[in-house]
Structure 1
């Protein structure tokens, strides 16, 4: 990173991604039984394992994004998770109602776009405005 503005932009990107996952993770916690039922209805295998993992990935992953801790490995996990939820949760190819299918297509590609944002975060890292950035030694040359 060579420009001071980069860390601020990366911080905003982390927050924008985190809000979606924090909100969704908290909603899963508050309506856990309903979430488990939804996973069953979608035919997700091993729901008793998948439900707590999904809830933790979203809630804890969102929190870690906000503070910027271990962002590079977290970004890879979140990218894989987001693609998996696109395939399992927004399977437009199995929907026959045209209006619902259109909605599922939008959500599917939205998830793929979010995964792309996570891959960019993997490349850039958390930026200086983060726990990761605070732990990185800085050279005196401004590099």
Structure 2
């Protein structure tokens, strides 16, 4: 089971590594997009969110307080869904549908991150192929 969980952890964070790379290498363009969506201090927010998801992804992938990493990912996803993908603000039906898909994707991934938080916290020391034990204990 340990290997299967490790594979799942790595596959889960690939999206966040790619996103963090974009946040940190295309900061001005992504910041301009965030500003167009009403995000205050968009460029610093882009850098901060890139670092947040990078830290969360590394934590989950390597198993260094993976429960905290999952919490960081969730803390990124839920506000991002609301701030960046508010489909209810879109007038164009095609744009509305596209933003709704992204909104629901972020909510679903946030839910998965919360499940990982619970899983890592509950399993604790019994989960192998990690560097540290979980930070939280929800048993």
Aligned residue in 1 for 2:6: 11
Residues in 2 aligned to 1:105 and 1:19: alpha-carbon distance in whole angstroms: 22
- 1:1-143 correspondence runs (5 A): 5=1, 7-125=2-120, 127-132=127-132
Higher alpha-carbon deviation: 95-104 or 51-60 = 51-60
Residues in 2 aligned to 1:16 and 1:104: alpha-carbon distance in whole angstroms: 24
CA contact (8 A) 2:35 2:42 kept: yes
Residues in 1 aligned to 2:69 and 2:38: alpha-carbon distance in whole angstroms: 27
Distance 1:46 1:52, change over 3 A: same
Higher alpha-carbon deviation: 93-102 or 42-51 = 42-51
Q: How many residues align?
A: 128
TM-score (norm 2): 0.83
Higher alpha-carbon deviation: 27-36 or 110-119 = 27-36
Q: Could you tell me which runs of 5 or more consecutive residues in structure 2 were left unpaired when the two chains were aligned.
A: 134-139
Quote how far apart the aligned CAs of 1:28 are.
1.8
Aligned residue in 2 for 1:141: none
- Say which SS state the counterpart of residue 110 (structure 2) adopts: helix
Q: Could you tell me which runs of 5 or more consecutive residues in structure 1 were left unpaired when the two chains were aligned.
A: 134-143
Q: Of the two structures, which has the highest relative contact order with CA contacts closer than 8 Å and spacing of 6 or more?
A: 1
Quote how far apart the aligned CAs of 1:48 are.
4.4
